Amino acid sequence: MHFQRVEGLSKVNQLVAFIAQAVDEGTLGPGSRLPSLREFCEQLSVSKYTVVDALERLRARGLVTSVPGRGYFISRDSVPGGPAAPAAQAAADLHTRLKRAFATNSTLLRPGCGFFPEAWLDTGLFRKALRHTLRTPRLRFMEYGHPLGYLPLRQTLQMKLADAGLQVPADNLILTSSTMNAVDLLLRVLVTPGDTVLLDDLCYFNFTANLRQHRANVVFVPRGHQGVTPAALEALLIAHRPKVFITSGLMHNPTGHSYALGEMVALITLLNRYGCHLIEDDLYHDLMEGAPPPMAALAGLANASYISGFSKLLSANMRVGYIAANPALTQAITQLKSLTGSVTCEFTEQALCQFFRDGSYYRHQRRLVSRLAESSARVTAWLQAAGCRFPVRHTGGLFLWAHLPAHVNAEALAEQALAEGIALAPGSLFGGGQHEMRFNIAHSDDPMVSERVTALLA
């Protein structure tokens, strides 16, 4: 293969284009073995880093596969003109391709995703908890779990919530398979087709998709970068008489904005006055150092429900969420879980309970909060140097909400980045503007991410 380099252009991009063109022209056929890394470096006069980077980008596109101990090969699915799978993906809209990139186990860099990198999570803790659970005599392989969930875990969560200021009996705590499952169960019980539901604008895109399935009338509450003003909320409550308001008081996804205590009280007072039920999504509470009480703790559970979970702090694949609700809602949701086969996995719940019993959870939580504080300073610095600014003051948590330089369109940037093996989260994913972007601090504290994104911004 003859590789002609062009000065002033990225060596990695040139190498990716060179190999992709060879596949497109049929010079490299499906199943062809590529030269070894050493041979690549010698033949093309490039560094090992450049070769590996290019091959990983090609693998992310589906053009190249690797076999441990044997090297890299052209994918057998590759055909002249481009492989079928990436072509189908290219036909999809940007948002669909980005969501797929966030959800799959990919070689992409993912500064736009919503969870921690595996390197930040202590997998040894999981193995220890799983081994302990397998040895326990209380493990019941042949029976269904309780519709409310594993009682010792509910009792542990009862104490955890009491420490945060929310008093709730263990029998009013319902374990779910995720926080979105918790939201869905609550909406099934509280909302009928045609009912109006208030939703933060900006918000996590799964909320709007879920509400469409319930055929609810969605009215967006302009949260902005300083939260919802009482006057704006009251105007919507009067005009639309909504049944439910779904919001996040602390560490709002995607902006990371949190309400002050007085602001929470003002919003709760209005919701109670107009009979609008609060569903509080508090998934990020444990990532905020010195967090105030949840909104539901101030409101009481008569007209509020509280949901949270562990997909962010522990594992996106440890599917445990929970609901704190009043007795009537608890009974209705428990019956719904039983009727729809939504009883949760007791084995996972027992393993999670072990995290709390041996103190692992709180040690892990403190490490994450401390590390996020250090990383946020570095990520803020390189984004500012690249011309970004931050309308929401960062008080902790996983996300930074950034305004891009005026000449940069967020979706166009995300398109360019995806072509280079980077999955970003443009503001339009959350209802934001064309110059806004959400950055995951943990994934963005990476020299490769800062170098590439800075180059794209320039």
Contact predicate 311/348, CB 8 Å: no
Residue 425: which H helix or E strand, with range?
strand 425-426
244-247 and 196-201 as β-strands: parallel, antiparallel, unpaired? parallel
Structural domains of the chain, with CATH: 11-74 (1.10.10.10), 86-114+363-457 (3.90.1150.10), 123-358 (3.40.640.10)
Spatial neighbors of 155 by CB under 8 A, at least 6 apart, are: 170
Tell me the per-residue pLDDT of 22-66, one tens digit each, with 9 for 90 and over. Answer: 887 777 888 788 888 888 887 777 888 788 888 888 877 778 887
Spatial neighbors of 218 by CB under 8 A, at least 6 apart, are: 196, 197, 199, 208, 211, 212
Contact predicate 23/31, CB 8 Å: no
3-class SS of residue 398: coil
Tell me how far CA of residue 430 lies from CA of 135, 207, 228, 315, 418, in angstroms: 44, 10, 16, 23, 18
Token pair 């900006």 is found at: 202
Contact predicate 202/255, CB 8 Å: yes
Q: What is the pLDDT along the chain (458 residues), one digit of tens a residue?
A: 566 666 666 777 778 888 888 887 777 888 788 888 888 887 777 888 788 888 888 877 778 887 777 788 888 765 554 444 443 444 467 878 887 777 765 678 899 988 888 888 877 777 777 787 777 766 666 667 788 999 999 999 999 999 999 999 999 999 998 899 999 999 999 999 999 999 998 888 888 888 989 999 999 998 867 788 899 999 999 999 999 999 998 888 888 888 888 899 999 999 999 999 999 999 999 998 888 899 999 999 999 999 999 888 887 777 789 999 999 999 999 999 888 877 888 888 888 888 888 888 888 899 999 999 999 999 999 999 999 999 888 888 899 999 999 999 999 999 999 888 899 999 988 888 899 999 999 999 999 999 999 999 98
